[in-house]
Amino acid sequence: MFRELAPSRVILAKSDGRAVLTDFELAKLLDTGPTVSANWPDDVYRAPEVDAGAADERSDLYSWARVLIHAATGQRPSNEEGKNMLINPGLPEAVWRLATRCLAKRPSARPASVRDVLPVLQEWSS
Number of domains into which the chain is organized: 1
Asked if residue 95 has pLDDT above 80, the reply is: yes
- Judge whether 1 lies within some domain: no
pTM: 0.74
* Structural domain harbouring 69: 7-125
70 pLDDT more than 60: yes
In a domain, 100, yes or no: yes
Dist CA 71 CA 36 (whole Å) = 27
Instruction: Give, in order, the Cα–Cα distances in Å from 125 to each of 19, 28, 99, 114.
Output: 12, 35, 15, 16
Handedness of CA 118, 49, 45, 9 (dihedral sign): negative
Task: Name the more confident of 94 and 89.
Answer: 94
The answer to whether 23 and 9 are in contact (CB under 8 A) is yes
Region 93-100: mean pLDDT is 92
What's the pLDDT tens digit per position in 14-62? Answer: 898 877 777 655 544 455 544 444 345 567 888 888 878 888 889 989 9
In angstroms, the CA 65 to CA 70 distance is 9
Scanning 33-87, the segments in alpha helix (DSSP H) are 57-73
